[in-house]
Amino acid sequence: MTEEIKKIEDLPGVGEATAEKLIDSGYGTLESIAAATNSNLEEKAELGKKTARKIINAARESLDIGYETASDLMEKRKDVTDISTGSEELNDLLGGGVETQAITEVYGSNASGKTQLCLKTAVNVQKSKENGGLGRGTLYIDTEKTFRPERVKEIVESSEEDMDPEEVLDKIQVAQAFSSDHQILLLEEAPKIIKENNIGLIVIDSLTGKFRSEYAGRGRLADRQQKLNKHLHRIQEIADVHNLAVLVTNQVMSNPGLMFGDPTTPIGGNIVGHQSTTRIYLRKGKKNKRIARLVDSPSLPEGEAVFQISAKGIEDK
Protein backbone atom coordinates (compact mmCIF):
# COMPACT_ATOMS: atom_id res chain seq x y z
CA MET A 1 0.00 0.00 0.00
CA THR A 2 2.86 2.38 0.84
CA GLU A 3 4.32 2.26 -2.69
CA GLU A 4 0.95 3.04 -4.27
CA ILE A 5 0.35 6.23 -2.27
CA LYS A 6 1.95 9.07 -4.20
CA LYS A 7 -0.62 11.85 -3.67
CA ILE A 8 -3.46 12.59 -1.27
CA GLU A 9 -6.09 11.15 -3.62
CA ASP A 10 -4.40 7.74 -3.16
CA LEU A 11 -5.08 7.73 0.58
CA PRO A 12 -7.79 5.31 1.73
CA GLY A 13 -11.15 7.02 2.12
CA VAL A 14 -10.08 10.14 0.26
CA GLY A 15 -12.26 10.78 -2.76
CA GLU A 16 -12.44 13.85 -4.94
CA ALA A 17 -14.65 15.81 -2.53
CA THR A 18 -12.50 14.97 0.54
CA ALA A 19 -9.31 15.76 -1.36
CA GLU A 20 -10.71 19.17 -2.26
CA LYS A 21 -11.59 19.88 1.38
CA LEU A 22 -8.10 18.83 2.50
CA ILE A 23 -6.41 21.05 -0.09
CA ASP A 24 -8.63 24.03 0.72
CA SER A 25 -7.79 23.56 4.41
CA GLY A 26 -4.06 23.67 3.71
CA TYR A 27 -3.44 19.92 3.68
CA GLY A 28 -2.54 19.47 0.04
CA THR A 29 0.51 17.24 0.51
CA LEU A 30 1.16 13.90 2.17
CA GLU A 31 3.68 15.62 4.46
CA SER A 32 1.17 18.16 5.75
CA ILE A 33 -1.40 15.43 6.43
CA ALA A 34 1.16 13.22 8.15
CA ALA A 35 2.10 16.13 10.43
CA ALA A 36 -1.51 17.00 11.24
CA THR A 37 -3.41 16.05 14.37
CA ASN A 38 -6.70 14.15 14.34
CA SER A 39 -8.57 17.17 15.66
CA ASN A 40 -7.17 19.42 12.91
CA LEU A 41 -8.40 17.14 10.13
CA GLU A 42 -11.73 16.54 11.84
CA GLU A 43 -12.34 20.29 12.17
CA LYS A 44 -10.81 21.67 8.97
CA ALA A 45 -11.78 18.93 6.51
CA GLU A 46 -15.00 17.90 8.28
CA LEU A 47 -13.91 14.30 8.74
CA GLY A 48 -14.96 11.71 11.29
CA LYS A 49 -12.51 10.71 14.00
CA LYS A 50 -11.82 7.23 12.56
CA THR A 51 -11.46 8.55 9.02
CA ALA A 52 -9.05 11.28 10.10
CA ARG A 53 -6.90 8.80 12.02
CA LYS A 54 -6.90 6.37 9.08
CA ILE A 55 -5.83 9.07 6.63
CA ILE A 56 -3.05 10.38 8.89
CA ASN A 57 -1.67 6.89 9.56
CA ALA A 58 -1.69 6.02 5.85
CA ALA A 59 0.13 9.26 5.01
CA ARG A 60 2.76 8.55 7.66
CA GLU A 61 3.29 5.00 6.41
CA SER A 62 3.66 6.21 2.83
CA LEU A 63 6.40 8.64 3.87
CA ASP A 64 8.22 6.16 6.08
CA ILE A 65 8.28 8.65 8.95
CA GLY A 66 10.56 7.73 11.83
CA TYR A 67 14.05 8.25 13.19
CA GLU A 68 16.92 9.17 10.91
CA THR A 69 20.63 9.76 11.29
CA ALA A 70 22.00 13.22 11.92
CA SER A 71 23.82 12.89 8.58
CA ASP A 72 20.49 12.42 6.78
CA LEU A 73 19.09 15.45 8.58
CA MET A 74 22.15 17.46 7.58
CA GLU A 75 21.46 16.55 3.96
CA LYS A 76 17.84 17.71 4.25
CA ARG A 77 18.93 21.01 5.77
CA LYS A 78 20.78 21.82 2.56
CA ASP A 79 17.37 23.06 1.36
CA VAL A 80 17.40 25.72 4.09
CA THR A 81 18.37 29.14 2.75
CA ASP A 82 18.52 32.72 4.04
CA ILE A 83 17.00 36.06 3.03
CA SER A 84 19.22 39.09 3.40
CA THR A 85 18.03 41.78 5.81
CA GLY A 86 19.91 44.49 3.91
CA SER A 87 22.57 44.78 6.62
CA GLU A 88 25.63 42.53 6.43
CA GLU A 89 26.24 43.03 10.14
CA LEU A 90 22.70 41.89 10.95
CA ASN A 91 23.00 39.01 8.47
CA ASP A 92 26.17 37.84 10.23
CA LEU A 93 24.40 37.98 13.59
CA LEU A 94 21.64 35.78 12.14
CA GLY A 95 24.04 33.35 10.55
CA GLY A 96 23.24 34.51 7.02
CA GLY A 97 19.86 36.22 7.23
CA VAL A 98 16.22 35.31 7.86
CA GLU A 99 16.16 31.51 7.64
CA THR A 100 13.63 29.34 5.83
CA GLN A 101 11.81 26.55 7.71
CA ALA A 102 12.02 28.73 10.82
CA ILE A 103 10.17 31.43 12.73
CA THR A 104 12.26 34.55 13.31
CA GLU A 105 10.73 36.78 15.99
CA VAL A 106 11.69 40.44 16.26
CA TYR A 107 10.53 42.38 19.31
CA GLY A 108 11.13 45.86 20.62
CA SER A 109 9.44 49.08 21.64
CA ASN A 110 7.66 51.44 19.28
CA ALA A 111 9.86 52.84 16.46
CA SER A 112 12.62 50.31 17.12
CA GLY A 113 12.66 49.27 13.45
CA LYS A 114 10.52 46.11 13.46
CA THR A 115 8.25 47.07 10.56
CA GLN A 116 11.13 48.52 8.56
CA LEU A 117 12.93 45.19 8.81
CA CYS A 118 9.77 43.41 7.65
CA LEU A 119 9.34 45.69 4.63
CA LYS A 120 12.99 45.42 3.60
CA THR A 121 12.93 41.62 3.87
CA ALA A 122 9.71 41.52 1.84
CA VAL A 123 11.60 43.31 -0.94
CA ASN A 124 14.80 41.28 -0.63
CA VAL A 125 13.09 37.89 -0.85
CA GLN A 126 12.27 38.71 -4.47
CA LYS A 127 15.93 39.01 -5.41
CA SER A 128 17.90 36.08 -6.81
CA LYS A 129 19.66 33.70 -4.43
CA GLU A 130 22.99 35.16 -5.56
CA ASN A 131 21.82 38.57 -4.36
CA GLY A 132 20.42 37.47 -1.00
CA GLY A 133 16.88 36.48 -1.96
CA LEU A 134 14.85 33.45 -2.96
CA GLY A 135 13.29 34.71 -6.19
CA ARG A 136 9.88 34.37 -4.51
CA GLY A 137 7.10 36.58 -3.17
CA THR A 138 5.74 37.58 0.25
CA LEU A 139 2.52 36.94 2.13
CA TYR A 140 2.12 39.88 4.53
CA ILE A 141 -0.43 39.75 7.38
CA ASP A 142 -0.81 43.26 8.80
CA THR A 143 -2.51 43.40 12.20
CA GLU A 144 -1.66 47.00 13.15
CA LYS A 145 -2.19 48.87 9.84
CA THR A 146 1.53 49.61 9.52
CA PHE A 147 2.07 48.28 6.00
CA ARG A 148 2.74 51.13 3.59
CA PRO A 149 3.14 50.37 -0.15
CA GLU A 150 4.64 53.85 -0.54
CA ARG A 151 7.46 52.85 1.79
CA VAL A 152 8.06 49.64 -0.16
CA LYS A 153 8.28 51.67 -3.35
CA GLU A 154 10.77 54.07 -1.71
CA ILE A 155 12.94 51.15 -0.58
CA VAL A 156 13.01 49.71 -4.09
CA GLU A 157 13.68 53.04 -5.80
CA SER A 158 16.48 53.85 -3.35
CA SER A 159 18.10 50.45 -3.83
CA GLU A 160 21.00 49.95 -6.20
CA GLU A 161 19.34 46.75 -7.45
CA ASP A 162 17.62 46.73 -10.83
CA MET A 163 14.09 46.11 -9.56
CA ASP A 164 10.79 47.50 -10.80
CA PRO A 165 8.73 48.98 -7.90
CA GLU A 166 5.40 47.96 -9.44
CA GLU A 167 6.57 44.38 -10.00
CA VAL A 168 7.81 44.20 -6.41
CA LEU A 169 4.46 45.43 -5.07
CA ASP A 170 2.59 42.94 -7.24
CA LYS A 171 4.51 40.09 -5.59
CA ILE A 172 3.53 41.08 -2.05
CA GLN A 173 0.14 39.64 -1.04
CA VAL A 174 -1.20 41.81 1.81
CA ALA A 175 -4.11 41.14 4.17
CA GLN A 176 -5.22 43.16 7.17
CA ALA A 177 -6.31 41.12 10.18
CA PHE A 178 -9.21 42.64 12.12
CA SER A 179 -9.21 40.15 15.01
CA SER A 180 -7.23 37.18 16.31
CA ASP A 181 -9.76 34.81 14.71
CA HIS A 182 -9.38 36.64 11.40
CA GLN A 183 -5.59 36.40 11.74
CA ILE A 184 -5.83 32.64 12.26
CA LEU A 185 -8.20 32.31 9.31
CA LEU A 186 -5.84 34.26 7.06
CA LEU A 187 -3.07 31.82 7.95
CA GLU A 188 -5.32 28.85 7.21
CA GLU A 189 -5.88 30.30 3.74
CA ALA A 190 -2.12 30.80 3.28
CA PRO A 191 -1.20 27.43 1.64
CA LYS A 192 -3.39 28.18 -1.35
CA ILE A 193 -1.89 31.67 -1.74
CA ILE A 194 1.62 30.26 -1.30
CA LYS A 195 1.15 27.75 -4.09
CA GLU A 196 -0.47 30.20 -6.51
CA ASN A 197 2.03 33.04 -5.94
CA ASN A 198 5.33 31.24 -5.24
CA ILE A 199 5.60 32.67 -1.73
CA GLY A 200 8.96 32.42 0.05
CA LEU A 201 8.28 34.64 3.08
CA ILE A 202 5.41 35.11 5.50
CA VAL A 203 5.39 38.30 7.56
CA ILE A 204 3.04 38.82 10.51
CA ASP A 205 3.26 42.33 11.92
CA SER A 206 2.47 41.94 14.73
CA LEU A 207 1.95 38.38 15.90
CA THR A 208 0.49 39.14 19.35
CA GLY A 209 -1.29 42.49 18.93
CA LYS A 210 -4.82 41.18 18.40
CA PHE A 211 -4.44 38.40 20.98
CA ARG A 212 -3.22 40.89 23.57
CA SER A 213 -6.14 43.30 23.11
CA GLU A 214 -8.86 40.62 22.98
CA TYR A 215 -7.67 38.49 25.90
CA ALA A 216 -7.01 41.11 28.54
CA GLY A 217 -6.67 40.20 32.21
CA ARG A 218 -5.26 37.19 34.03
CA GLY A 219 -8.59 35.36 33.84
CA ARG A 220 -8.24 35.02 30.07
CA LEU A 221 -4.49 34.44 29.93
CA ALA A 222 -4.74 30.64 29.66
CA ASP A 223 -7.20 30.86 26.75
CA ARG A 224 -4.98 33.36 24.97
CA GLN A 225 -1.85 31.26 25.38
CA GLN A 226 -3.57 28.09 24.20
CA LYS A 227 -4.89 29.81 21.09
CA LEU A 228 -1.54 31.46 20.39
CA ASN A 229 0.28 28.15 20.84
CA LYS A 230 -1.91 26.43 18.26
CA HIS A 231 -1.44 29.36 15.88
CA LEU A 232 2.35 29.18 16.16
CA HIS A 233 2.42 25.43 15.58
CA ARG A 234 0.43 25.94 12.39
CA ILE A 235 2.86 28.68 11.29
CA GLN A 236 5.83 26.35 11.78
CA GLU A 237 4.06 23.55 9.92
CA ILE A 238 3.51 25.80 6.89
CA ALA A 239 7.14 26.97 7.01
CA ASP A 240 8.39 23.38 6.99
CA VAL A 241 6.10 22.07 4.27
CA HIS A 242 6.74 24.97 1.89
CA ASN A 243 10.39 25.66 2.82
CA LEU A 244 9.69 29.33 3.44
CA ALA A 245 10.81 31.87 6.00
CA VAL A 246 8.53 33.36 8.64
CA LEU A 247 9.27 36.77 10.12
CA VAL A 248 7.02 37.94 12.96
CA THR A 249 7.13 41.05 15.10
CA ASN A 250 6.08 41.07 18.73
CA GLN A 251 4.88 43.74 21.10
CA VAL A 252 6.60 44.36 24.43
CA MET A 253 5.75 45.42 27.95
CA SER A 254 7.79 46.63 30.89
CA ASN A 255 8.52 44.20 33.71
CA PRO A 256 8.33 46.28 36.94
CA GLY A 257 9.63 43.36 38.99
CA LEU A 258 13.04 43.48 37.30
CA MET A 259 15.45 45.35 39.57
CA PHE A 260 18.45 45.44 37.23
CA GLY A 261 18.90 45.50 33.47
CA ASP A 262 16.46 46.25 30.65
CA PRO A 263 12.85 45.70 31.85
CA THR A 264 11.53 45.27 28.28
CA THR A 265 9.74 41.93 27.99
CA PRO A 266 8.11 40.43 24.86
CA ILE A 267 4.41 39.53 24.93
CA GLY A 268 3.41 35.88 24.81
CA GLY A 269 5.68 34.47 27.49
CA ASN A 270 7.18 31.02 27.07
CA ILE A 271 4.69 30.04 24.36
CA VAL A 272 6.13 32.51 21.87
CA GLY A 273 9.65 32.12 23.20
CA HIS A 274 9.70 28.35 22.75
CA GLN A 275 8.05 28.34 19.32
CA SER A 276 10.27 31.04 17.82
CA THR A 277 13.41 29.55 16.30
CA THR A 278 15.36 32.79 16.53
CA ARG A 279 14.58 35.81 18.73
CA ILE A 280 15.92 39.29 18.05
CA TYR A 281 15.52 42.26 20.38
CA LEU A 282 15.66 45.68 18.70
CA ARG A 283 16.27 48.96 20.45
CA LYS A 284 16.90 52.51 19.32
CA GLY A 285 20.37 54.01 19.23
CA LYS A 286 21.50 57.52 18.34
CA LYS A 287 19.80 59.16 15.35
CA ASN A 288 18.77 56.44 12.89
CA LYS A 289 20.91 53.73 14.45
CA ARG A 290 19.33 50.53 15.75
CA ILE A 291 20.90 47.83 17.90
CA ALA A 292 19.84 44.22 17.34
CA ARG A 293 20.59 41.67 20.04
CA LEU A 294 20.33 37.95 19.35
CA VAL A 295 18.46 36.65 22.39
CA ASP A 296 17.91 33.02 21.44
CA SER A 297 18.92 30.65 18.65
CA PRO A 298 19.45 26.87 18.45
CA SER A 299 22.81 27.25 16.70
CA LEU A 300 24.10 30.80 17.07
CA PRO A 301 25.83 32.57 19.97
CA GLU A 302 24.35 35.65 21.59
CA GLY A 303 25.62 38.90 20.18
CA GLU A 304 24.73 42.33 18.87
CA ALA A 305 24.70 44.12 15.54
CA VAL A 306 24.28 47.80 14.71
CA PHE A 307 22.47 48.96 11.58
CA GLN A 308 20.62 52.04 10.43
CA ILE A 309 17.25 52.87 8.92
CA SER A 310 17.38 54.93 5.75
CA ALA A 311 15.49 55.45 2.50
CA LYS A 312 16.88 52.05 1.45
CA GLY A 313 15.20 50.44 4.45
CA ILE A 314 17.76 48.53 6.48
CA GLU A 315 21.47 48.98 5.81
CA ASP A 316 24.81 48.99 7.60
CA LYS A 317 25.71 52.09 9.58
Average pLDDT, the chain: 90
- In the three-class reduction of DSSP (H, G, I as helix; E, B as strand; rest coil), residue 281 is classed as strand
CA distance 130 to 84: 10
Residue 155 inside a domain? The answer is: yes
Name residues whose C-beta falls within 8 Å of residue 310's C-beta, 6 or more positions apart in sequence.
158, 288
Query: Per-residue pLDDT for 259 more than 70?
Result: no
Q: In the structure, what pLDDT confidence band is assigned to residue 239 with cuts at 50, 70 and 90? A: very high
Same domain, 265 and 120: yes
* C-alpha dihedral, 50 to 3 to 194 to 111, nearest 10°: 80
Same domain, 136 and 200: yes
CA distance 153 to 123: 9
Q: In the structure, what pLDDT confidence band is assigned to residue 261 with cuts at 50, 70 and 90? A: low
pLDDT at 2: 44
Question: What average pLDDT score do residues 3-31 get?
Answer: 82
Rank 69-78, 82-91, 253-262, 270-279 by mean pLDDT and report only the highest: 82-91
CA distance 242 to 253: 33
Q: In the structure, what pLDDT confidence band is assigned to residue 267 with cuts at 50, 70 and 90? A: confident
Same domain, 17 and 149: no
Question: What average pLDDT score do residues 222-234 get?
Answer: 91
Q: Judging by DSSP bridges, how do beta strands 278-284 and 289-296 pair with one another?
A: antiparallel
Same domain, 30 and 96: no
Q: In the structure, what pLDDT confidence band is assigned to residue 263 with cuts at 50, 70 and 90? A: low
- Residue 34 CA, chain-centre distance (Å), reads 21
pLDDT at 293: 97
Same domain, 57 and 176: no
- Residue 182 CA, chain-centre distance (Å), reads 17
Q: Please state which of the ranges 64-73, 133-142, 236-245 shows the lowest mean pLDDT.
A: 64-73
CATH of residue 27's domain is: 1.10.150.20
Residue 103 inside a domain? The answer is: yes
- Contact, 294 vs 302, CB < 8 A? yes
Same domain, 51 and 100: no
Host domain of residue 122 = 77-316
Q: What is the 3-state secondary structure (H, E, C) of 123-136?
A: HHCCCCHHHCCCCC
Question: What average pLDDT score do residues 281-307 get?
Answer: 94
Query: Per-residue pLDDT for 88 more than 60?
Result: yes
pTM of this structure: 0.81
User: How far are the Cα atoms of 106, 267, 285, 296 from residue 273, in angstroms, in the given order?
Assistant: 11, 9, 25, 8
Question: What average pLDDT score do residues 20-37 get?
Answer: 83
Same domain, 300 and 238: yes
Residue 2 inside a domain? The answer is: no
Same domain, 153 and 27: no
Name residues whose C-beta falls within 8 Å of residue 71's C-beta, 6 or more positions apart in sequence.
none
pLDDT at 1: 41
Same domain, 133 and 183: yes
DSSP 244-255: -EEEEEE-EEE-
Q: Please state which of the ranges 40-49, 82-91, 147-156, 162-171 shows the lowest mean pLDDT.
A: 40-49
Q: Which residues pair with 197 in a beta bridge?
A: none
Name residues whose C-beta falls within 8 Å of residue 158's C-beta, 6 or more positions apart in sequence.
310, 311, 312, 313
Same domain, 197 and 291: yes
Task: Tell me how many domains the chain contains.
Answer: 2
**Comparison of pLDDT for 300 and 15, the residue scoring more:** 300
Tens of pLDDT along 42-81? 887 788 888 889 888 888 888 876 778 899 888 888 889 9
Same domain, 95 and 176: yes
CA distance 229 to 215: 14
Question: What average pLDDT score do residues 244-266 get?
Answer: 78
DSSP 111-123: TSSHHHHHHHHHH
The alpha carbon dihedral of 185, 188, 193, 194 has a sign of positive
Same domain, 43 and 123: no
Tens of pLDDT along 181-205? 999 999 999 999 999 999 999 999 9
Query: Per-residue pLDDT for 257 more than 70?
Result: no
